[in-house]
Amino acid sequence: MQPCEIRRIEGPGDRSAAVGLGRWTMLYLHDFNMSAFWAGITGFVWYAFGAVPLQISVAGQLGLTTDESSSWMFIIWFSGAVASIALSLCYRQPIPITWTIPGLVYLGTLAGQYSFAEMVGANLIAGVLIIALGVMGVGARIMAWLPLPIVMGMFAGSILDYVTRLVSATVSDIAVAGITAGAFLLGRAIKSPRVPPLGLAMIAGGIAVYVTGASVNAPILWALPAIGVPEITFSMSAVIAITLPMLILAMGLGNVQGIGFLMAQGYRVPINPLTVVVGVTSAINALFGGHPATVARTGVAILAAPDAGPQSGRYWASLVAASLTVLLAVAATPVMSLMGVLPHSYVFALAGLAVLSALQDAFEKAFGGRLRFAALTAFAVAATPFSIAGIGSASWAIMVGMLGALVVERAELLAYWRDRSHHEPSIAT
């Protein structure tokens, strides 16, 4: 399907493509179905309870002010919602644009190593590079060259600290963090999409905070988001340590997997225009203190799945979820001001629980097939916090992992590249 093409729909009378707002409205309403509507509600619940707690935690790690974190939260949710609505309406495909959760987690691991201004500058460069890769149509080719097991080994090592802090918080504060973790396990045991485990953990832990009186006496600011352009600084060390991993996590992890799922569902995804939109959204995010956008992997799995109704109408799930996330953007200030109210044990527990599935997925992709030694070396290096020549351990992990693959697993690396080259035409179109 070509961009923004009006397709023929079935039904009595003249259903040929037509011009005019009324005809467009009829065309979209024809595709609406309740399965897509409830899938959109489910997607929004995941956004609210699966992603927001993690963002609150990382903002606290980075030591951001309420205004800085409010601007950050507003722009990434608002820009993603606008991009999702525009793409879904234009192509009539469930294309959810949010922000890279692995990228957010990675930024949290860099707290104290780089200033917020340096992070903003590095994220801005990442957005510009994503635009360039989309315009040139080479993004998918570049991502295919970097082995996914090494990337996932690096990512697993980078976020391991979140899980160890979860364990420490649970041991030291069973009344709050322990109940939070227990509720999460109960949610996983229920195995119902209508009962998100992290949402259950957030509610149970919040009740525990209230009952035990563990909350801090600090005001919650009921105000509209404080939107502003932060200080921006460009440094080579930040570009190496932040920009390159962000490109990998946003494009090689988020875009490729999200687009791959859409293609598996039978959609003809406009990859290069989509990459450009992700890049533009990422650059806009950075200008207001946010981090790069991506095609939402979890969002796609919810909004584009068969449970979301007929294939032709699943884009309504994306429209519903994106419209509701505007509410998160508007509520940025009161939500982010919770950082000063919630106890650290509760925030650490939620953050650790939020990345558990991502860590499990990273382990499975890193060690479930080829290049396991390379993935292991990348994991070990990334899990060890250090900096050499201003370059953090995550960047060194990629280089050491590639070196390990070339020296120890050369045959597997060449086979991996051959397989990726055979699949490249289906990705980079």
Q: What is the pTM of this model?
A: 0.70
Name the CA dihedral angle for 165, 75, 111, 229, rounded to a multiple of 10 degrees: -160
Q: Using pLDDT thresholds of 50, 70 and 90, give the confidence band for residue 6.
A: very low
What's the pLDDT at 265? 80
Our count of domains for the chain comes to: 1
Q: What angle do CA 415, 416, 420 make, to 5 degrees?
A: 115
| pLDDT at res. 289 | 92
Please indicate, yes or no, if residue 50 is contained in any of the structural domains.
yes
User: In this model, does residue 37 exceed pLDDT 90?
Assistant: no
Angle at 186 between CA 181 and CA 187, to 5 degrees: 95
Is the pLDDT score of 15 beyond 50?
no
Domain-located, residue 23:
no
Q: What mean pLDDT do residues 40-66 have?
A: 80
Closest CA to 89 of 149, 1, 200, 182: 1
Give the angle 327-328-333 at the CA atoms, nearest 5°. Answer: 110
d(CA 116, CA 97) in angstroms, rounded, equals: 24
Domain-located, residue 15: no
Domain assignment present for 17: no
CA–CA gap between residue 305 and residue 105 (Å, rounded): 26
3 state DSSP class of 267: coil
159-198 exposure pattern, b = at least 16 Cβ within 10 A, e = fewer: bbbbbebbeebbeebeebbbbbbbbbeebbeeeeeeebbb
Q: What are phi and psi of 6, to 5 degrees?
A: -85, 115
CA 203 to chain centre: 23
328 part of a folded domain: yes
pLDDT band at 401 (very low <50, low <70, confident <90, very high): very high
CB 281 within 8 A of CB 80: yes
Classify residue 288: in a domain, yes or no: yes
Q: Quick check: is 426 in a domain?
A: no
Q: Which residue range(s) make up the domain with 233?
A: 31-420
